[in-house]
């Protein structure tokens, strides 16, 4: 079974244009995503799925410079980009990776992939209603991705959010739930970068934990939030 991580990213964010190459702890945001996900032992391949817009040429060049394959498709149809990437890279299992979530975790990714493969399921996740301190990774089967494209390809949630459609339609395919490790068993704040203030928040996290670029420990951050030593605006407790 070939497991392919697909990073979803583009430069044309309305609220934070160019954020994918904005610097966090001295490195571009996309570099952080690539670096962290290359630590996931379950991934056989890692690819960038971006748009065919000219503004994303620089993003494609950056990813290729780091040795990633790049698949480019329509800006307004993320689902189609994922299908294109899965086909081009011969994926049996697809790991959807948000390009704007700098704490994507390789260990949790491996756990989700292992659970999905063991159960031969279509989606792996934390149990419904159980908190999990994480953001930015979803694991699904290739067959459910292709089925979604065939049967729900015009649904706006499927086109824009891909796995968001599966979460809204729990009977569409089979799913398996993991046991969330104790260190991550906490409510999670938003852990993505949507506006410049979010970038400043993550800069503060890197400063507080004195972490090397790409190596900010998710479990340490989760513990600090759970103990009230951190709040979402980064000012601390």
pLDDT of 181-214, one tens digit each?
A: 999 999 999 999 999 999 999 999 999 999 999 9
Tens digits of pLDDT across the chain (237 residues): 999 999 999 999 889 999 999 999 999 999 999 999 999 999 999 999 999 999 999 999 999 999 999 999 999 999 999 999 999 999 999 999 999 999 999 999 999 999 999 999 999 999 999 999 999 999 999 999 999 999 999 999 999 999 999 999 999 999 999 999 999 999 999 999 999 999 999 999 999 999 999 999 999 999 999 998 888 754 333
Helix (H) or strand (E) holding 124: strand 123-125
First to last CA, the chain: 45
The beta-strand segments (E) located in 20-135 are 23-24, 27-28, 45-51, 69-73, 93-98, 123-125
Residue written as token pair 């292709």: 146
Domains of the chain: 3-226 (3.90.550.10)
Q: Is 57 helix (H, G, I), strand (E, B) or coil?
A: helix
Do residues 32 and 214 make contact, with C-beta atoms less than 8 angstroms apart?
A: yes
User: What pLDDT does 208 receive?
Assistant: 96
Residue with token string 């990437």 = 85
Per-residue pLDDT at 150: 97
pLDDT score for 235: 38
**Per-residue model confidence (pLDDT) at position 14:** 86
For the whole model, what pTM was predicted? 0.95
Residue with tokens 């904005």: 22
CA atoms within 13 A on the CB side of 190: 10
């Amino acid at each position: 079974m070939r497991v392919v991580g697909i990073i979803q990213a583009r430069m044309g964010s309305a609220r934070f244009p160019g954020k994918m190459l904005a610097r966090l702890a001295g490195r571009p945001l996309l570099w952080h995503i690539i670096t962290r996900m290359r630590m996931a032992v379950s991934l056989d391949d890692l690819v960038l799925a971006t748009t065919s817009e000219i503004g994303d040429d620089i993003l494609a060049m950056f990813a290729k410079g780091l040795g990633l394959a790049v698949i480019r498709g329509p800006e307004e149809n993320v689902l189609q980009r994922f299908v294109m990437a899965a086909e081009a890279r011969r994926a049996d299992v697809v790991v959807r990776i948000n390009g704007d979530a700098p704490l994507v975790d390789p260990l949790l990714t491996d756990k989700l992939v292992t659970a999905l493969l063991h159960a031969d399921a279509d989606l792996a996740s934390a149990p419904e209603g159980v908190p999990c301190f994480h953001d930015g990774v979803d694991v699904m089967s290739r067959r459910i991705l292709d089925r979604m494209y065939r049967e729900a390809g015009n649904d706006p949630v499927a086109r824009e959010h891909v796995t968001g459609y599966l979460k809204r339609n729990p009977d569409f395919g089979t799913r398996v739930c993991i046991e969330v490790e104790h260190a991550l068993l906490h409510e999670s704040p938003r852990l993505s970068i949507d506006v410049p203030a979010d970038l400043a928040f993550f800069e503060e996290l890197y400063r507080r934990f004195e972490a090397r670029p790409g190596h900010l420990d998710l479990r340490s951050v989760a513990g600090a939030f759970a103990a009230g030593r951190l709040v979402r605006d980064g000012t601390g407790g």
